[in-house]
């Protein structure tokens, strides 16, 4: 299985924040807390006219995911955004994105715990 979180990216983010692991943790908690809302926006866009908000949610998942080291999730969000633009986004694609998101969020929490312990 591919690691859900690139811990070196997360460590670099902590370094960029002058070693402030609390700020890094806040960013991770905000990402986690916004997950349900973002994935709901994406689900609602299937066969509807909510493309703009869903595209913004997917872009947010992608950029924040990359910042936090969730490369697999970010790539999946990019693919979903491309499918959305083509009108080809389907429920199974969003279900897989949601699954990857939940795995990544769990991996992110574990990675933060390891960074704090180091």
Per the structure block, which two tokens stand in for 109?
């929490």
**pLDDT at residue 23, rounded to an integer:** 84
Helix axis angle for 7-16 and 51-67, nearest 10°, is 90
- List all residues 6 or more positions away from 64 whose beta carbon is below 8 Å from its beta carbon: 27, 31
**pLDDT at residue 78, rounded to an integer:** 97
Q: Give me the CATH topology for the region 7-113.
A: 1.20.120
This prediction has a pTM of: 0.77
Q: Which residue has the tokens 């992110």?
A: 108
**pLDDT at residue 97, rounded to an integer:** 95
**pLDDT at residue 50, rounded to an integer:** 64
* Parts of the chain with a pLDDT under 70: 1-3, 47-50
């Amino acid at each position: 299985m591919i690691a859900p979180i690139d811990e070196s990216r997360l460590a670099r983010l902590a370094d960029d924040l002058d070693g402030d692991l609390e700020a890094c943790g806040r960013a991770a908690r905000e990402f986690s807390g916004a997950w349900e809302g973002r994935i709901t926006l994406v689900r609602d866009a299937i066969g509807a006219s909510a493309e703009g908000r869903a595209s913004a949610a997917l872009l947010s998942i992608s950029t924040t995911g990359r910042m936090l080291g969730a490369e697999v999730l970010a790539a999946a969000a990019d693919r979903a955004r491309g499918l959305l633009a083509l009108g080809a986004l389907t429920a199974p694609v969003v279900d897989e994105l949601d699954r990857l998101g939940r795995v990544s969020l769990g991996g992110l929490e574990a990675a933060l715990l390891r960074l704090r312990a180091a």
